[in-house]
A and B are shown apart, each in its own frame.
Chain A
Amino acid sequence: MFPPKLKVVTGMARFLTKRILNMIPLLFIVTLLSFGIMQLAPGGPEQVILSAEADAMSDPAQMERLREKWGLNDPIPVQYFRWVGNMLQGDFGRSYYYRLPVKEVLGAALPNTIQLNFFSLLLIYSISIPLGVISAVRQYSKTDMIVTATAFAGQAAPSFWVGTLLIWGVAMKSNGLIPTNGIATPGVNFETYGWLSVLADRAKHMLLPLTVIVFGGLTSLTRYMRSSMLEVLREDYVRTARAKGLAEKVVIYKHALRNALLPILAVSGGLLSSLVGGSVIIENVFSWPGIGRVAWQAVNNRDYNVSMAVMLLGAVLTMIGYLLVDIAYVWVDPRIKYD
């Protein structure tokens, strides 16, 4: 009993180590990319860093002191390695706009983005999987047509347009019942209002952004689920199951669904990445204080340290997403080997 189990565990451990080791060169290229992009700025990043210190620009002596202070006189490779070295020690530099360490700026924003996208993913999966199954089982029926049409619409409709439409058509006509921006009503806290109203308040704020994200994110997953289910339904083992006289429900939900879910896993990593990227727009439409909004503000205020860190953070989040998908894959499908 014991040895085979141990073998599985060490196999998984080896797979994980290998996967994580593979991430290192990738991360290295990502740091090169984000650092390189900043060097593309006309006049280099220093122009921006210096102009953030308002009055420094007019005084050459003070400018020189700042250049020295921020290490801008060093050769670019030196600056790069110092940046990477500092990051390895957990120091992401200072935000020139917020006048705070970058880590604090991102640390405050990240949970908000994760909160929004966690519920989005939950909803997207719990809606798109049944929708895709129904659509496939009743191929070419009215339900299938409606589902497919909605999927096409969700793919083509710009998220900021859907968001603005909702703000105009729903929130602005709800007499303040549905908020259009922010994550919570200021002042609503556990002590004075109790957890129920805090929860309700939070949910109210999430309503519109969630709707937009889910509408946009549903589409690809539903279409994948539908085509994957259609494929599986044509397989021999499904026919066998039917021939055995099993109930249609059992055939679909016990035999077919399980296998049809595999390709869905494969596209989940990409879904996560597009949700994180899409947060730049969604968080902007609804003034959601997450990393998408921070990314946009950083770009607008030429807050380069934040921009670089945000790109890196996005990449790390995506890589974690892919890793989780891989683990799930190995776990679900015994045909896939660890290496």
Chain B
Amino acid sequence: MAAPHLNVEAEEQLQGLAREESQFRQFARRFARNKLAVAGLIVLLLLYVVAILAPVIASEPLDARVNLAERFQPPGTPGHPLGTDNLGRDLLSRMIWGSRISLSVGFVAMGVAVLLGTLVGSIAGYFGGSWIDIILMRIAEAIDVIPVFFLLVTVVAVLRPSVFNIMVVIGITSWPGLAYIVRGQFLSLRQRDFTEASRAMGATDARLIFRHILPNAVAPIIVSATLRIGWAILSEAGLSFLGLGAPPPAVSWGQILSVSRSFLKQAPWLMFWPGLAIFITVLAFNFVGDGIRDALDPKLKR
């Protein structure tokens, strides 16, 4: 009571902290109520543990020796729970190694897309209606208007397929959708009072964009990014399937699938398991994405 002024300020700060805490808790509680999303999250965590521990778990190294005597062993063969491939390598080991590319491509590609999409979207939205906005959006539209797989195969083939190229190109071809979302957010946020207030106080354009407006547009960015990770994984698998994946000894699920096509009759398991792995991973990401969307903002439902 001696210094009421100070106390009020401190209390306000504490309250602010408490509110932030409870906001995250609220989010976690809402997310936890969504059974599918939680199941998806658990599956993903398991998959990532497998990918990280690949050198420990996989019974054969990445560059396993070709063993033609043991080719096309069916699933359930002792030592080869999922069977062996056309070169006699253990399919389960190949899939464990393959999980590394398939699981990292989603995040890296999304990182690139979020970075580009946010940058372009915020600049365009902030300067909405000006020539910068028009030019940036026209470029986004032009990329968007080329069917994405035409663009992907061409760019990847021209640059030569490598893990790095594939991840970056998937990211570069998928930012326009994010840019539209961010731009839309900016167009509405830049009219708000808090923006006007900071501008009046002399904040620079860059400061306004990145410190004041962008933090308010984070929720839709996160949601749309999570939902697109699945798409990135499918794209990588599709590229590998078309023979435009990372070259051996690198291995991904899509690549195993691609090879399996020639041995459909002798060894259908070669096609079945990697496809199932992609399916489950993408499904899990989509469930988690939907869960995040609903938990972040119930109103954001499509």
Contact = CB atoms under 8 A, between A and B. Distances in A.
Contacts of A152: 283, 286-287
Interface stretch (B9-17, B119-127, B144-152): B144-152
Q: Is the interface of A mostly helix, strand, loop or mixed?
A: helix
Given A168-B271, A223-B302, A311 B150 contact: yes
A226 B154 CA distance: 36
Given A37-B154, A158-B234, A315-B146, A164 B264 contact: yes
Interface stretch (B27-35, B53-61, B91-99, B157-165): B157-165
A281 B146 contact: no
Interface string A28-72: 011001100110111000000000000000000000000000000
A299 B145 contact: no
B287 to A, nearest CB: 8
Nearest to B227: A155
A300 B242 CA distance: 10
B147 A167 contact: no
B283 A273 contact: no
Nearest to B268: A168
Given A29-B139, A165-B271, A277-B147, A41 B158 contact: yes
Interface residues of B, number: 48
A267 to B, nearest CB: 10
Contacts of A232: none
B147 A37 contact: no
B264 A33 contact: no
B153 interface: yes
A310 B150 CA distance: 8
B150 A167 contact: no
A146 interface: no
Interface in A152-166: 152-153, 155-161, 164-165
A302 B147 CA distance: 19
Interface string A281-300: 10010000000100110011
A168 B238 contact: no
Contact of B257 (A164, A280, A302, A317): A164
Contact of A167 (B142, B159, B264): B264
Contacts of B243: 300
Contact of A314 (B141, B147, B160, B244): B147
B154 to A, nearest CB: 5
Interface stretch (B65-73, B76-84, B209-217, B274-282): B274-282
B19 interface: no
A152 B230 CA distance: 12
B145 A315 contact: yes
A160 B149 CA distance: 13
Contacts of A318: 145-147
Interface size range of chain A in the complex: 35 or more
A38 B242 contact: no
A319 B279 contact: no
A172 interface: yes
A143 interface: no
Contacts of B141: 26, 29
A281 B241 contact: yes
A224 interface: yes
A124 interface: no
B279 A25 contact: no
A149 B20 CA distance: 35
Interface in B249-293: 254, 257, 260-261, 264-265, 268, 271-272, 275-276, 278-280, 282-283, 286-287
B138 A29 contact: yes
A160 B238 contact: yes
Contacts of B238: 158-160, 280-281
B237 interface: yes
B143 A33 contact: yes
Contacts of A210: none
B148 to A, nearest CB: 5
Contacts of B139: 29
Contacts of A156: 230, 234, 279-280, 282-283, 286
B286 A155 contact: yes
A186 to B, nearest CB: 22
B272 to A, nearest CB: 8
Contacts of B50: none
Given A33-B142, A33-B143, A158-B254, 14 more contacts: A25-B138, A37-B158, A40-B155, A40-B158, A158-B238, A165-B272, A276-B147, A277-B147, A279-B149, A280-B153, A295-B149, A299-B153, A314-B147, A315-B147
29 contacts: A26-B142, A29-B138, A33-B143, A34-B154, A41-B159, A152-B286, A155-B286, A156-B282, A158-B234, A158-B237, A158-B241, A158-B275, A158-B278, A161-B257, A161-B275, A164-B257, A165-B271, A172-B264, A227-B302, A274-B147, A277-B148, A281-B238, A295-B149, A300-B157, A307-B154, A311-B146, A314-B147, A315-B142, A315-B146
Interface of B: 138-139, 141-151, 153-155, 157-160, 230, 234, 237-238, 241-244, 254, 257, 260-261, 264-265, 268, 271-272, 275-276, 278-280, 282-283, 286-287, 301-302
Across the A-B interface, give the 10 residue pairs with the lowest CB-CB distance, nearest first.
Answer: A277-B147, A161-B275, A29-B142, A277-B149, A156-B283, A156-B282, A299-B157, A314-B147, A280-B149, A276-B147
